[in-house]
Amino acid sequence: MYLIAELHNQYEGDISTAEQMILQSKMAGAHAVKLQLYDSQTLYGTAERAYLSLTFDETKRLKEYADLLRIDIFASFFDRERLQWCLELDFKILKIASITVERYPELCELAVATGRRVIMSLGKWDWKGQGMPFRAPNVEYLYCVAKYPALLEDVQMPDFRGSDFVGYSDHTVGISACLLAISRGAKVIEKHFTLSPSLQKSTAQAHLGSMRMDDLVAIRSFADDIEVMDRTATAFRKQASAVR
């Protein structure tokens, strides 16, 4: 299982805070941390979130820090320039947010055409009616409910075994939905991470469901336990088949 700690927007525009979050994510068992790269005016029509807009040099600094800690780092990007940043910084994964699938299909096509691993959230895509937007072998899909925060009753968790979805991007409060997803075979879990739930600004209320360090530890521990039990069950089935 691949566990992703989303840092946006809980680092509050402070690079030192972002580095602290990367360190805590590594210590708590995350396999990767994720950023968001955008121009506030272009994406939202306002400069209200300009303090959260990372520069190329800031993104490079966080990449170098994550590399030092040996934790994967990648980003959601919302324009061609920032997609190019991801390529220049050699991000192994390209993340496409739900809103990008809906608004910027050509940008999605450019990302898929790179051949790099693409993880795409489908919270705003009518996958039941239209199917999956791409069938390329380098594209993986996350089930997502595009509400912030989402309620547990909003989540119609699929059985990921045999599904077109490989994992789940969570916006609910708590970790119950993540644990359910793992128990149903999710191989990727993404959830917003925070140093403290009290770190909320007017632009951050959407992520009241952000996990803390102890939540991250609990999710990783549960996932590891599930993997152990799955291996044990598989070994038992093989032994039973050999006896027959």
Predicted confidence (pLDDT) per residue in 105-149, tens digit: 999 999 999 999 999 999 999 998 999 999 999 999 999 999 989
Closest by CA position to 85, among listed 120, 111, 51: 111
Mean pLDDT of 147-160: 95
Helix (H, G, I), strand (E, B) or coil at 18: helix
DSSP state, 79? S
Contacts of residue 47, Cβ cutoff 8 Å, sequence gap at least 6: 40, 41
Q: What is the pTM of this model?
A: 0.93
Predicted confidence (pLDDT) per residue in 173-223, tens digit: 999 999 999 999 999 999 999 998 776 654 555 567 889 999 999 999 999
Closest by CA position to 79, among listed 52, 115, 41: 41
Helix (H, G, I), strand (E, B) or coil at 158: coil
Mean pLDDT of 64-84: 99
Q: Which pLDDT does position 105 carry in this prediction?
A: 95
Give the total number of structural domains in the chain. Answer: 1
**Could you tell me the CATH number of the domain that includes residue 130?**
3.20.20.70
Instruction: Give the whole-angstrom CA distance, residue 9 versus residue 204.
Output: 6
Q: Which pLDDT does position 236 carry in this prediction?
A: 75
Per the structure block, which two tokens stand in for 78? 């919302």
pLDDT exceeds 90 at position 169: yes
What is the domain range of residue 147?
2-243
Q: Which pLDDT does position 148 carry in this prediction?
A: 86
